[in-house]
Amino acid sequence: MDFLLIQALSGLASAASLFLVASGLSIIFGVTRIVNFAHGAFYMLGAYAAFTLTDRFAGPLGFWGGLLVASLAVAAVGALMEVVLLRRIYQAPELFQLLATFGVTLMVQDLVVLIWGPDDLMGPRAPGFTGAFSLFGRLVPTYDILLILLGPVVLGLLWLLFHRTRWGVLVRAATQDREMVSSLGVNQKWLFTSVFALGVFLAALGGALQIPRTTVTHYMDLSIIVEVFVVVVIGGLGSVTGAFVAAVLVSELNAFGILVLPKISMITVFLVMAVVLVVRPWGLFGKPDAAPRASAGISVRPWKPMSALERGGVALVVLLAALLPFVSGSYALSVGSEILVFVLFAASLHFMMTVGGLASFGHAAYFGLGAYGAAFAVTYFGVPMEAALVLGPVLGLVGAVLFGWFCVRLSGVYFAMLTLAFAQITWSIAFQWVEVTGGDNGILGIWPSAWASTPQGFYWLALGVVVVGVAVLRMLVFSPFGFGLRAARDSGLRAEAIGIDAKRTQWAAFVVAGTFAGIAGALFAFLKGSVFPETLAIPMSVDGLVMVLLGGIETVSGAVVGAVVYKALAIWLMSQTELSKLVLGGIIVLLVVAFPKGIVGFIEDWRHRRPPAPNGAGPEAMGIAKVEAAQ
C-alpha cells in the first residue's frame, strides 16, 4: 500500500513539467489556433538558458532567479518570433503556421549545439531541495514534493489570471470566439503576442525546472513535444484544467503501468489518447467546436482539369524525367528514385488533406505498413519484388480501413491527433515485436528483382509507379467520388442533405490515401533494401505534412512540387553540411513568409493576377504549367 502511494507521488512529480509545457501549448492554441511545433524547442531553450544562468550565479537567489530570468528571456524570444514570423502568416491556410514553427524547431536544434556545444550538460541541483525525506521507510526527493505542489499552484495562478484580470477575460473570450474579440476593438495583435509569450514562458519554465533532475541535451525537445501535444489533446484543446488532469492521468498511468508491463511506457500516452478520443472526441475537458472551420483549402478558384496545353507540358516533363538515366550517374538516379517515392507519399497525403479536408499527423503509418508489408512478403513468403509491391500496400490498406474508421468520426486537430496516436501505436509494435519485425534493427535484404536492381532500372520502375499513382489520385479528384469528397469537406450539412454519407466518403478517401502511401512505402523498402521503424515514425509524418504545405494546400498538385523541392533540398543539405537542420529550417521559414500559400499556390495566384494571354499562354505560363502539372 505504502509503495503504491510512493509510486503515485513519483507520478505526480513527473506530471508537473508535463503540465507546465502542455498548458502553454493549450493556451496558445486556444487563442491563436496555432499548432506550435516549436513548443518543445522553447522548453529546451528554457533549460539551456537556465543552465547558463544557474551555472554562473550560485546560491539560492542565483538558482531560482536564474530559472525565472531564463524563462522570461525565452518568453521574449518567443514573443519576437510571434511578431516577426507568425504575424505575417495568420491569414495563411490552417496548419501553415505549423510549417513555420517546424522550421524554427529545426533551426533551434542546430543552434543550441553551436551555442552550448554537443555534450550533455548537468546543471546544479536546487538549493534546499537536494535531499529526500522518509515516508513509510522510503525516501522521496524533496524536489519531487516541490514539483508536486507547483502543478496546482501554477494551475491556480493561471485560473486567477484568466478569471480575475481584464486581459484574462479577453483571452478566454478569444478562445471561444476570435471574431468577437476583434470586433470589441481590442488590439488583437498584442493580445496574440502576449498570449504567445505566456505560453512560451510556461514551456521555458517547464524546461528550466528540469535541470535539477536531468541533463540538458540538444534532443530534449523531441522527447517532450509529442507527449505534450498528446496531453493537450487528451485534456481538451484550450483547457488548462484539462491539461493538468491529462498530465496527471498520463503520468500516473505510466508510473503504475510499468509495474505490470515494464515495456509499456513507450506507448502509454498514445494508448490513453486513442481511448479518450474514441470515447470523448473533444478531449476530457474540451468542447465541440461550435462551427468547425473547414480544415483545408476553400479556394476561391475552383479546380479545373488540365487543359490540352497543360497535359502536353506534363507529358513533356514525364518524358524528360524518363530520359534522366541516359544523362546522369547512378547516385543521381537513386536520389531521383527517393524523391519519386516521396512524391507519391506526399500526393497521397495531399489527397486526404486537401480534397478530403482531413489533415493527418500520422500518415507515415500507412507508408510504413506498406514497407513492412513488402518486407514480410519477401522475408516470410519469399515472393519476388513484383508480387511484394502488390502485397505490401495491402497492409497499408488494411491499416487505413481499421484506423480510418475511428479517425473520420473526428475532425480538425482531434482527427490529426488520433491519426498520430494510431501511427505511434503502429510504430511501437514495429519497434517492440522484435521476433517479427526485427525491432529497431529492422528487416534487411529486401532488394529488388534483377531487372530493377540497377539504379536505372529501379528509377524507371519508381517513375512508372509514381506517375500512374499520381495520375490515378488526380483522376479521383475530378471524378464523381472526388466531388462527393469535396462536398463532404466544404459542408457536411449540405452533403448529408443531398444524400452523401460524408463519413463513409471520408473513410474511403482515408483508405485510398493509406493505400497509395503504402505503395510508396513498398517502393521505399526496395529502394533502401531494408525496412526500419523510422518509416512509421513521427518525423516521416511531419515530412509528408511539410511537403504538402510547402507545395500549397489549396492546390491540386502542390504536393508534387513540395515533395520534389523539400526532399531534394533535404538530401542535398544532408550531404553538404552538418548544419543541414539549421539551413533547411531557415529555408522553410523563408519560404513560409515568401509563399504563404505554398509554392504552387503562389504561382497560381500570380498566374491568375495576370490578364489572360490572348490566344494561348506565353512561354512563361507554359513553364508554370509544367511545374504545376509535374504530377
Partner 1 sequence: MKRMLGLAFAAVLMASAAARAEGEIKVGEINSYSALPGFTDPYRKGMELALKEINDAGGIKGKKLVIISKDDGGKPGEALTAANELVSRDGVVMIAGGFLSNVGLALSDFAKQKKVVYLASEPLTDAIVWSKGNDYTFRLRTSNYMQAAMLAEEAAKLPAKRWATIAPNYEFGQSFVAVFKDLLKKRRPDVEFVAEQWPPLNKIDAGPVLQAIDAAKPEAILNATFAGDLVKLVREGNTRGVFKDRAVVSYLTGEPEYLDPLKGETPEGWIVTGYPWYSINTPEHKAFLDAYQQLNKDYPRLGSIVGYSTVKSIAAVLNATDDHSTEGLVKAMKNLKVSTPFGEIVYRGADHQSTLGAFVGKTALKDGKGVMVDVVFKKGADYLPSEEEAAKMRPAN
Partner 2 sequence: MTSLLEVKGLVKSYSGVHAVRGVSFSLEAGEILALIGPNGAGKSTCFNMLNGQIRPNAGSIKLDGQEIVGLPPRTVWRRGVGRTFQITATFSSMTVRENVQVTLLSYHRRLWSGLGYAGAAYREEADALLSLVGMEQQADRPCGELAYGDLKRLELAVALANQPRLLLMDEPTAGMAPKERVELMRLTAEIARKKDIGVLFTEHDMDVVFEHADAVMVLNRGELIARGSPQEVRRDPHVQAIYLGEGLLYDAKHREEAVQ
496-515 binders of partner 2 (CB under 8 A): 496-501, 505, 508
Select from 155-163, 449-457, 487-495, 531-539 the region that touches partner 2 (CB under 8 A): 487-495
> Can you tell me which residue has the cell 522553410?
588
Residue 494 interacting with partner 2 (CB under 8 A): yes
DSSP H or E segment with residue 260: helix 240-260
Q: Pick the binder of partner 2 from 137, 185, 302, 611 (CB under 8 A).
A: 302
| C-alpha dist (Å) from residue 327 to 331, 332, 333, 498 | 12, 10, 10, 54
Ramachandran quadrant class, 552 (left: phi over 0; alpha: psi -120 to 50; beta: rest) = left
Task: State in angstroms the smallest separation of the CB of 88 from partner 2.
Answer: 24
Using CB under 8 A as the binding rule, whether residue 309 contacts partner 1 is answered as no
Q: Please list every residue from 303 through 362 that binds partner 2, using CB under 8 A.
A: 303-305
Q: What is the CA radius of gyration of the chain?
A: 25
By CB under 8 A, the residues from 72 to 111 that bind partner 1 are 110
Closer residue to partner 1, CB minimum distance, 232 or 443 = 443
User: Which position among 11, 238, 356, 399 is part of the footprint of partner 1 (CB under 8 A)?
Assistant: 11
User: Phi and psi of 133, rounded to 5°?
Assistant: -120, 160
Alpha helices in 165-186 (DSSP H): 166-176, 178-183
- Number of residues this chain uses to bind partner 1 (CB under 8 A): 95
Q: Which is nearer to partner 1, 432 or 491 (CB)?
A: 432
Nearer to partner 1, 102 or 285 (CB): 102
Residues 422-461 that bind partner 1 (CB under 8 A): 431-432, 434, 438-442, 444-445, 447, 455
Cβ–Cβ < 8 Å for 210, 95: no
Furthest-apart CA pair in the chain: how many Å?
89
Paired with 121 in beta bridges are: 216
Dist. CA 464–CA 484, nearest whole Å: 29
Asked if 475 is part of the footprint of partner 2 (rule: CB under 8 A), the reply reads yes
Nearest to 318 by CA among 526, 476, 460: 460
Residue 329 in the binding site for partner 1 (CB under 8 A): yes
- Least distance from C-beta 618 to partner 2, angstroms? 24
Grid coordinates standing for 156? 491556480
Among 481, 571, 573, 602, binds partner 2 (CB under 8 A): 481
Residues that bind partner 2 (rule: CB under 8 A) add up to a total of: 35
When asked if residue 139 is in the footprint of partner 1 (CB under 8 A), the reply is yes
C-alpha cell at 465: 509507379
251 binds partner 1 (CB under 8 A): yes
Cell 498566374, residue located: 607
595: CB partners within 8 A, 6+ apart: 552, 601, 602
Taking the complex as a whole, the smallest distance from the CB of residue 355 to partner 2 amounts, in Å, to 10
- CA–CA–CA angle 83, 89, 92 (5° rounding): 160
Q: Which three cell numbers stand for residue 151?
A: 502543478
Does position 298 bind partner 2 by CB under 8 A?
yes
Choose among 342, 363, 348: nearest CA to 420: 363
CB < 8 Å & 24+ apart, contacts of 481-488: 481/505, 481/508, 482/355, 485/355, 485/356, 485/509, 486/355, 488/356, 488/357
What is the rounded distance in angstroms from the CA atom of residue 78 to the CA atom of residue 339?
34
Neighbours of 90 (CB within 10 A): 16
Residue choice 54, 101, 217, 419 for contact with partner 1 (CB under 8 A):
217
Minimum CB distance to partner 2, residue 463 (Å): 23
Beta-carbon contacts of 18 under 8 Å, excluding residues fewer than 6 positions away, are: 206, 224, 227, 228, 231, 247, 250, 251
Q: Which residue's CB is nearer to partner 1, number 357 or number 598?
A: 598
Nearest-angstrom CA–CA distance, 601 and 594: 11
- What is the x/- site pattern for partner 2, positions 6-35, by CB under 8 A? ------------------------------
Phi-psi region of 128 (alpha: psi -120 to 50; beta: other; left: phi over 0): left
Among candidate residues 251, 232, 271, 220, the one with its CA nearest the CA of residue 429: 271
Task: Report the nearest approach of partner 2 to the CB of residue 91 (Å).
Answer: 16
- Site residues for partner 1, window 331-350 (CB under 8 A)? 331-336, 338-339
Q: 200 is in the binding site of which of partner 1, partner 2, none (Cβ under 5 to 8 A by kind)? A: none
263 is a site residue for partner 1 (CB under 8 A):
yes
Least separation in angstroms between CB 205 and partner 1: 19
Of 223 and 479, CB closest to partner 2: 479
- Taking the complex as a whole, the smallest distance from the CB of residue 214 to partner 1 amounts, in Å, to 4
Please, which residue, 386 or 578, has the CB nearer to partner 1? Answer: 578
Q: Give the list of residues 6+ apart from residue 500 with CB closer than 8 angstroms, or none.
A: 484, 487, 488
- Measured from the CB atom, is 495 or 549 closer to partner 2? 495
Piece in contact with partner 2 (CB under 8 A), picked from 50-58, 192-200, 472-480, 544-552: 472-480
Bridge partners (DSSP) of residue 140 are 133
Task: Select from 39, 486, 489, 581 the one that contacts partner 1 (CB under 8 A).
Answer: 581
Q: Which of 128, 131, 288, 292 binds partner 1 (CB under 8 A)?
A: 131
Contact between 572 and partner 1 per CB under 8 A: yes
23 binds, among partner 2, partner 1, none (CB under 5 to 8 A by kind): none
Binding mask 245-284 toward partner 2 (x if CB under 8 A, else -) reads ----------------------------------------
Please tell me whether residue 223 binds partner 1 under the rule CB under 8 A: yes
Residue 136, interface with partner 1 (CB under 8 A)? no
Contacts to partner 2 by CB under 8 A: 294, 297-305, 475-476, 478-484, 486-487, 489-491, 493-501, 505, 508
